[in-house]
């Protein structure tokens, strides 16, 4: 099953809370993303069958292959949540052990689990028992809590021994959050120590960097998160880069058509007034670096209707 997934180095869309919703996932898929991962889903919320929580686990066939990422700190709850998700037919379950957000860490979840490797092992063991190896299980984590506690190598080996089918390393510490520079040498070192596939994540914002990560670390795939915001075409460009060492440039008309497609996807799942509001932050990424972008974003941030939003975009991004 894992061998089928990793026939070639894969390009993953990372889970980003508040950004990688169904609309953005579909857009990235249409532009070359090869594997999708859900936004982080609360295991506690799932077993309570909260409708609000469950919506984060819903995918369409168009998004396959996809994984659902869960977080929590109780092994039995995590196992029940994973089992609950089987009818959704994900291609894999991913366990978040890397989120550095304080409210997650305070619950003993996310990167807090790196401070308690035995608990992390128990979580993976319980989930695998619940899944009965029907689908793969992956674990995503960071290099450690801080620079004085870099335990990614030992932690990764423990996750493999506990039954993880593949893992993803974001080589920053929890304390770093998203600041500073990720250390790709950690990915290279961990890859050499494992027999299961390893996905690299962190500071890939261009096709050149995607190729560089694969070349430098020998990892089995690249996960792109913030680097895809405002640039969903990075996946197609990265595959072109890997195949031909060049890629198609993005023109202003492609930029506009991509934003419009993003809006169309969003309207499939959410009411117009919600889409207008949520697209404001997405358009900030799309227009970053453009001449007159500040004025364009200011106008968009004050619009309340879809017609007005489309008019502003068409005029602001006209050729």
Residue 295: predicted pLDDT: 86
Q: What is the CA radius of gyration of the chain?
A: 20
- The vertex-29 CA angle with 236 and 250, nearest 5°, equals 35
| Token pair recorded at residue 52 | 């609000």
Q: What is the pLDDT of residue 318?
A: 65
Q: What is the pLDDT of residues 237-251, one digit of tens each?
A: 999 999 999 999 999
pTM of the model: 0.91
pLDDT value for 314: 83
Contact 134, 86 (CB under 8 A): yes
Active site (catalytic) residues: 99
pLDDT of residue 296: 86
Give residue 3's pLDDT: 59
Q: b/e string for 294-309 if b means 16 or more Cβ within 10 A?
A: eebbebbeebeeeeeb
Low-confidence ranges of the chain (pLDDT < 50): 319
pLDDT for the residue 172: 95
pLDDT at position 291: 75
Cβ–Cβ < 8 Å for 108, 73: yes
All structural domains of the chain, each given as residue ranges with its CATH number in brackets, are 2-244 (3.20.20.70), 252-316 (1.10.1200.80)
pLDDT of residue 319: 44
Please give the pLDDT value at position 2.
59
Q: What is the pLDDT of residue 4?
A: 63
Whose tokens are 């249409």? That residue is 30
Total H helices, total E strands in the chain: 15, 9
- What pLDDT is stored for residue 35 in this prediction? 95
In angstroms, rounded to a whole number, what is the distance separating the alpha carbons of residues 49 and 31?
A: 33
């Amino acid at each position: 099953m894992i061998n089928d997934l990793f026939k070639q180095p894969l390009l993953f869309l990372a889970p980003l809370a508040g950004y990688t919703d169904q609309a953005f996932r579909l857009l990235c898929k249409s532009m070359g993303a090869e594997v999708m991962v859900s936004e982080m889903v609360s295991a506690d919320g799932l077993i309570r069958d909260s409708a609000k929580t469950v919506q984060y686990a819903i995918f369409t066939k168009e998004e396959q292959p996809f994984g659902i990422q869960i977080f929590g700190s109780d092994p039995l709850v995590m196992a029940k949540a994973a089992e609950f998700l089987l009818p959704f037919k994900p291609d894999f379950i991913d366990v978040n052990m890397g989120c550095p957000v304080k409210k997650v860490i305070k619950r003993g979840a996310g990167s807090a689990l790196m401070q308690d490797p035995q608990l992390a092992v128990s979580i993976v063991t319980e989930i695998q028992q619940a899944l009965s190896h029907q689908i793969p299980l992956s674990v995503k984590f960071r290099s450690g809590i801080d620079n004085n506690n870099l335990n990614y190598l030992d932690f990764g080996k423990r996750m493999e021994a506990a039954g993880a089918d593949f893992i993803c390393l974001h080589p920053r510490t929890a304390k770093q959050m998203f600041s500073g520079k990720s250390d790709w040498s950690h990915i290279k070192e961990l890859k050499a120590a494992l027999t299961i596939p390893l996905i690299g994540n962190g500071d890939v914002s261009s096709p050149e960097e995607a190729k560089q990560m694969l070349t430098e670390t020998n990892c089995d795939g690249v996960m792109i998160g913030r680097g895809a915001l405002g640039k969903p075409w990075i996946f197609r460009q990265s595959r072109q880069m890997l195949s031909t060492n060049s890629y198609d440039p993005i023109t202003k008309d492609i930029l506009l058509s991509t934003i419009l497609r993003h809006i169309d996807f969003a309207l499939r799942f959410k009411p117009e007034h919600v889409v207008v509001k949520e697209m404001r932050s997405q358009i900030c990424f799309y227009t970053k670096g453009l001449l007159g972008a500040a004025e364009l974003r200011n106008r968009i941030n004050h619009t309340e209707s879809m017609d007005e939003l489309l008019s502003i975009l068409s005029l602001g991004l006209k050729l």
